[in-house]
Structure 1
Amino acid sequence: MAGQAAGSFGSGERARKITDEPQFIDVPEHPSVVELLAYFEGKRGTREMADRADVRPSEIARLMPSMIIAEAVNGGGEFRTRLFGTALVELVGEERTGKLLSEFAEEGAIAKDKDAVQRRWLYITRKTYFGRKPVFAKVPFAASGRLYHVGHTISVPLTAGGDGPAQVVGGIFVVRAGEKLL
């Protein structure tokens, strides 16, 4: 983890065509993603997933501006945003609290249209919800074919008093392309 370039999408990344597709990774690389994973794993204990009643925002207050909480609608066919942190609002230029993921508009990422933005958000959220385990990804932010930021993400499913997932909690932590992670 330490010393890795934040913009690394694998060998030859700079020569590779930049797309709007996230790169799923098995192990988180960003320190804040590692911290959130440890927090949710601690809350989960021996259960398959942590319950939303176990989560105390005051315990992760420093990370909340970069977090999203999405509640499942229609059995995971759609998700409504219950929280869209202030750092995320600044990043994408849109307040999304209360919106369905299918209502998200364009953002400062490489995605060329709102449909691509919505597909990416829904795909990652559904992968987490139906997979019933944490998902980690790196998401490129680019302009004019040049990678300028990388978003390190985590998505974690939560129950709501039952056995199945009810919400997905996520975080996006953005660093400049090529920046070394501590």
Structure 2
Amino acid sequence: MGGESFSGGDSARKITEEPQFLDTPEHPLVIEFLNYIEGKRGAREMADRADISPADLLRFLPNMIITEAVNGGEDFRTRLFGTALVELLGEERTGKLLSEFAEEGAIAKDKKAVQRRWLYITRQAFIGRKPVFAKVPFAASDRLYLAGHTISVPLTAGGTEPAQVVGAMFVTHTERRSD
């Protein structure tokens, strides 16, 4: 997606309306989730979806999203959208394409911005073939006091090419700073 202005690095500590990509995760549950996936990956480039056991991830399931690539990663179909995410965002998204995601809560301002965010972050993991960490403000719903700490990780499906992206989001309150 050319022309994106999503930033990373030091700006991740400022409150903005854009996702902020991080080199390493900040949230302890994102770190724990990453350690699990990395343990399953071993020496391979990516873990395989068959390596992932839902029984091992019970504490993360409410916060998880699992997507399957459509048209080589042009879009992604949601296979699982955790119950905590449904409650937070006010919409059941299991079965939907990321490009079909609607508003984040009843007060969302820009449905296209919501779709663009989800697609961009998921594609970064899929195309980059490695985990992506982001801090995502709830700008679309005017809830900038909340930040989602996200992880998106590509998985293979019995081969060597990415087929799915598994992720999770854990929400914290932001610290307002004037820098």
What TM-score does the superposition give when structure 2 sets the normalisation length? 0.87
Query: What displacement does 1:108 show?
Result: 3.9
Matches within 5 A, 1:62-101: 62-101=59-98
Q: Are 2:167 and 1:178 equivalent residues in the alignment?
A: no
Q: Is the 8 A contact 1:109 1:142 kept in 2?
A: no
How far apart are residue 176 of structure 1 and its match? 1.3
Alignment of 1:29-108 (within 5 A): 29-108=26-105
User: Which whole-Å CA distance do the structure 2 matches of 1:117 and 1:142 have between them?
Assistant: 9
Alignment match, 1:4? none
Establish whether residue 126 from structure 1 lines up as the match of residue 123 from structure 2. yes
Q: Provide the aligned length of Structure 1 versus Structure 2.
A: 166
Cα offsets for 1:28-64 (capped at 9, x unmatched): 0001000000000000000000000000011010011
1:103-126 deviation per Cα after TM superposition (whole angstroms, max 9, x unaligned): 000104996211110000000000
Measure, in 2, the Cα distance between the counterparts of 1:84 and 1:108.
Answer: 15
Structure 2: 5+ residue stretches without partners: 1-10
Does the Cα contact within 8 Å between 1:24 and 1:135 map onto a contact in 2?
yes
List runs of 5+ in structure 1 lacking aligned partners: 1-7
Residue 81 of structure 1, CA deviation:
0.1
Change (3 A) 1:127 1:86: same
Tell me the distance in 2 between the aligned counterparts of 1:116 and 1:60.
30
1:27 corresponds in structure 2 to 24
Structure 1 residues 51 and 136, CA gap change in structure 2 (3 angstroms): same
CA distance in 2, matches of 1:110, 1:175: 19
TM-score with structure 1 setting the length:
0.85
Higher relative contact order (CA 8 A, sep 6+): 1
| Residue identity opposite 1:99 in structure 2 | K
Q: State the identity %.
A: 73
How far does the alpha carbon of each residue in 1:73-118 deviate from its partner, in whole angstroms, 9 at most, with x for none?
1111110000000000011100000000010001049962111100
